[in-house]
A and B are shown apart, each in its own frame.
Chain A
């Protein structure tokens, strides 16, 4: 891990409020594992801290970041033009474990697709891969095509029924686990409520479940202790010990 001066190759809107940025970052691309993140210094404005983003895709020397504009720094990022040089620290944190056997279900709520596309890319076509995409409404269902490209079966659902079944993503997860025989691993990213529910469902089916958690962070390298995640062994740092945790390890009742 260290910081790199990376050229922004492209930066475009791909859905309502959601942008895709590509960086020329050979060192990060070579080292990155799915679930790891980059810590980006976004120039301009009154903010001083870096911003964490999951590594969304790796293509050769290029890394991609999929982000939603929610505040000052993501807004400033969306205004940057190709050619801008950015100070990026990474790859950081611990990602998803290597999954060597059995089938895999990826569960994404909204922007939770961000790290899971890279994971699907890495898992490749060999594996029976199912992707469950949940969102409030159809405009929040992202990256279905990107997942299909990796050979995955994609099923979507929305809270308002505007795309796919009208239900929570964890209901689809429960159906899948109830049907499937054999070894399955679940990897999930999305709102804490969804992850909490997913962890409970997986525990019920004795299915291993890995979740990517978000917490406000400063340093990104485990020194400032600003991003605690409550676990059964006390607080761990989202940035260094995570962001991916085994769902059994998380003290869900203490997670907001």
Chain B
């Protein structure tokens, strides 16, 4: 038996394989395919206080070893979530991380409290970094502004006792600054990275491939970027870093652990292979056994550099 347990704040996860928000729905579709309770945690699609229709089509364009999406946080809103999604999540026998987004600190805190009260979540992921939704007057992502990060995280912290993960954007000058802002405001972990703002253009029609013109790049193409940012953040922070970005195989996941990540989130890989997450988990177990490593702690942060 290899030791895969990890903890985030007060929360224990049986293994470090989580799903990335927006690539796993609320778990119901995948539950038809395999026992999703095997995963360390299920992270749900970001919900917002009110329903959002999302962006018009086309919302997706494939790029070399990756894809762009401009879904625009289509979701049924908090009320619909509590009514239709929460009951399923409450029955899960693994940790549930509910991803939330809102217009500002007070709204974030109200959402956090409502989700906590519903009893369906073991932790929250604060989506501060959706490239398809900009916040207010600054026309920026919250996670591009250290002051805004601190305001949101501390507002949530004050109102809600659940472990809080701050999900950050790669699109900043210095990831350690935004990650430290989250840590200082009381985040229990950071998740790196959300998608990279990007574009795809069709020369023949002279049009952008997305109706929204810009979107977020994900998939294997962004893994090297994510590795570097995780490596930077791990050395600056005391709280756990959850790695996300292009993780498709067990080896990918282990590379992030080697760079110091505490856990991993599987995103786009769920869309190309619906069994990606459990396959990554069993692949990690196999690799550790074969390399006679009894615990992930023996590997974590042991990059020879």
Contact = CB atoms under 8 A, between A and B. Distances in A.
A145 interface: no
Interface string A135-179: 000000000000000000000000000000000000000000000
A222 B33 CA distance: 13
Contact of A48 (B24, B66, B275): B66
A200 B62 CA distance: 33
A49 interface: yes
Between B33, B272, B275, the greatest number of chain A beta carbons within 10 A of the residue's beta carbon is seen for: B272
A134 B32 CA distance: 40
Between B45, B54, B59, B219, the greatest number of chain A beta carbons within 10 A of the residue's beta carbon is seen for: B59
B56 interface: yes
Given A219-B270, A234-B53, A235-B74, A47 B62 contact: yes
Contacts of A219: 23, 270-271, 274
A216 B65 contact: no
Interface of A: 1-3, 41, 46-50, 87, 89, 215-219, 221-230, 234-235, 254, 256
Contacts of B74: 225, 228, 235
A227 B59 CA distance: 7
A216 B60 CA distance: 6
Given A48-B272, A225-B54, A227-B59, A218 B69 contact: yes
A224 B271 contact: yes
Given A46-B65, A48-B219, A49-B271, A228 B56 contact: yes
A226 B71 contact: yes
Contacts of B57: 215-216, 227-230, 256
Q: Looking at chain B's contact residues, is the secondary structure mostly helix, strand, loop, or mixed?
A: loop
Nearest to B64: A46
> Is the interface on chain B under 10, 10 to 19, 20 to 34, or 35 or more residues?
20 to 34
Nearest to B76: A234
Between A1, A46, A48, the greatest number of chain B beta carbons within 10 A of the residue's beta carbon is seen for: A48
B56 A223 contact: no
Contacts of B30: 223
Contacts of A41: 272-273
B268 A226 contact: no
Contact of A224 (B62, B64, B71): B71
B29 interface: yes
Contacts of A226: 59-60, 69, 71
Contact of A228 (B29, B32, B54): B54
Nearest to A237: B74
Contacts of B24: 223
A256 B270 CA distance: 28
